[in-house]
Amino acid sequence: MDSLLTEVQDIFRAVFDQPDLVVVRESNAATIDGWDSLAHINLIVAIEKKFQIKLSLSELQDLKDAGDIIDLIHTKLKTKQF
């Protein structure tokens, strides 16, 4: 499992309070219990905090699954100014 996916999986487990949750790139709101609009906001906030990035509303609109989230994080981290 790629390290970014592992880190994101840990965030998903915390947000959804499911310590045994297995997240794959195809995981989405239909495949994870409790993934509703409020959980989605909590997930995004946790991701922004963990990776110290900001996600814009336009970027969030295109997210369909965990793979899209991981790809967006990867892109943000590559362009992040240190």
The 10s digit of each residue's pLDDT in 24-43 is 999 999 999 999 999 999 99
Is the separation of the CB atoms in 10 and 49 below 8 Å?
Answer: no
* CA nearest neighbour of 5 among 18, 23, 26: 23
pTM score > 0.75 for this model?
A: yes
Q: What was the pLDDT predicted at 64?
A: 94
Segment 14-22 mean pLDDT? 97
Q: Which domains does the chain have, with CATH numbers?
A: 3-79 (1.10.1200.10)
Q: What was the pLDDT predicted at 82?
A: 57
Q: What was the pLDDT predicted at 81?
A: 63
- Inter-axis angle of helices 3-15 and 37-51, nearest 10: 130
Segment 73-82 mean pLDDT? 85
With 0-12 / 13-18 / 19 or more C-beta atoms within 10 angstroms meaning exposed / middle / buried, residue 7 is middle
Segment 38-54 mean pLDDT? 96
